[in-house]
Structure 1
Amino acid sequence: MPPRDRVSIFGDGNQKVVFMDEDDVATYTIKTVDDSRTLNKTLYLRPPKNIVTHNQLVEKWEKLTNQTLEKVHISAQDFLASIKGAHKPSFLGMDEKAIQAGLARIYHIYYEGCLMSFAIGNEGEEASKLYPEVQYTSVDEYLQRYL
């Protein structure tokens, strides 16, 4: 569930991030199976309506719920320190290495912008441009589910 009172924001919250519904990921993946345009290429999932900052995501949620959330910013240093302490053996049935790997991915996404810090070259295609007929779930539509 999205937060109702308080939200943690990674860094300054201004790093662009891509949010995708799992069903949309599956739809785009299946469309590539017999598509010669994707042969030996990487498919990037970056639909324009779903590229938002953490701050923009929180603003959208606040607007939908008509509430203002308390925002707690987590610095990169504090986040990295928390990774070292992430060793709860029963956390979702994951071992310490798996937990730390997942947290490391979050760090690269929210603090370094790894999902948006490069242009798509000839080695890849962007899914929403390649398949404009797919009506992907926007961030706004996704958040509506939790009202």
Structure 2
Amino acid sequence: MEEKKTRILIVGASGRLGFELAKASLEAAHPTFALVRDSAFSDPHKSSKLQVLSTSGAVLLKGSLEDQISLVEAVRQVDVVICAVASRQVLDQKPLIAAIKEAGGVKRFIPSEFGTDPDKTRISGLDYNFYARKAEIRRIVEAEGIPYTCICCNFFASYLLPSLVQPGLKTPPRDKVMIFGDGNVKGVFMKESDVAAFTINAADDPRTLNKVVHLRPQGNVYSMNELVDVWQNKIGKKLEKIFVSEEELLKKIKETPYPENLDMVFIYCAFVKGDQTYFDTESPGGVDGTRLYPNQKYVTISEFLDTLL
């Protein structure tokens, strides 16, 4: 008899990552459900995405994180719940956790993390509780005894990489470039669609149960100096390097109002402190997603930079 495919619910399917997660789930032939709030249908951008998903076979369930009855109803229909709400809304997952607890049949919850591991960051007090909120959700999930998998993919390629990690720029520099710290600390960038594919692989894998899946593929881990070298080779031109020391960067962060200073906070976290790469991916509670799924294709940083030429 054919094994029944895991039923997956995506919360936030009209968002950038949520849409990729729903597409990846459908591509892997999972019965795929999306929790959609009424307002999404009247937003042309969101409703066109939902139309694509619906046409591809996703079941759209009306509901929201503010409506507990709709939440429990949606959760009761699936085996795995993946949440992709925006980072600033991570605490809005509390009712979802309560619904999962009440429904009782969920085999796996993947909370909205998809960034730097909040338990590994060492920038206390600088990030306006950005990581503390994600860590808080982890602790609640653990305390409730809900089976989980956390996905830590570090930076999305659409964030900071299009500017070659230059705050305030929209495209990569062609003349001079700022290097933060000594430029040798490595950060990680991954395309959203690739993160989604790895996530769907991990969603019902026994090896990822109650673990943090770290995504750090070869070809996606670069220091600022390496990024600049690759870009210089692509444009056939040397850039003037301006080194910004840790002290100068911290001063700039303090002088710049929130939230305009967040890009610099994240740059400090990744490229000065090394919070994305200082630890072993297989450290206690962690697994290496690229080792688990060696055949999963992904776009490298170099390939991504080609699209910016």
Q: TM-score, normalised by structure 2?
A: 0.43
Report whether the alignment pairs 1:74 with 2:235.
Answer: no
Which residue number in structure 2 is paired with residue 106 of structure 1? 267
1:74-111 deviation digits (Å, cap 9, x = unpaired): 11011001111211xxxxxxxx2x44454323212111
Task: Give the whole-Å Cα distance in 1 for the aligned partners of 2:304 and 2:239.
Answer: 19
* Alpha-carbon distance, 1:141 to partner: 0.5
What SS does structure 2 have at the residue aligned with 1:17?
Answer: strand
What does 1:15-94 align with in structure 2 at a 5 Å threshold? 15-87=185-257
Unaligned runs of 5+ in 2: 1-170
The one-letter code of the counterpart of 2:280 is A
In the alignment, which residue of structure 1 is the partner of 2:291? 129
Cα shift at 1:44: 0.3
Segments of 5+ residues of structure 1 without an aligned counterpart are 88-95
- 1:93-146 Cα offsets, whole Å, 9 max, x none, are xxx2x4445432321211111111111224111111111111111111011001
SS in 2 for 1:18: strand
Q: Distance in 2 between matches of 1:118 and 1:29?
A: 21
Q: Percent identity?
A: 40
RMSD of Structure 2 on Structure 1 (CA): 1.4
The partner residue of 1:116 within 268, 277, 298 is 277
| TM-score when normalising by structure 1 | 0.87
Question: Structure 1 pair 70/112, CA: closer, same or farther in 2 (3 Å)?
Answer: same
* Number of positions where the alignment pairs a residue of Structure 1 with one of Structure 2: 138
The more displaced of 50-59 and 113-122 is: 113-122
- Equivalent-residue separation in structure 2 for 1:70 and 1:103 (angstroms): 20
Aligned equivalent of 1:10: 180
Post-superposition Cα deviations, 1:15-57, rounded to whole Å, max 9, x if no partner, equal 1211212221122112211111111000101001111211011
Residue 190 of structure 2: SS of its match in structure 1?
coil
Aligned mate of 1:140, from 282, 295, 302: 302
Structure 2 residue matching 1:48: 3-state secondary structure: coil
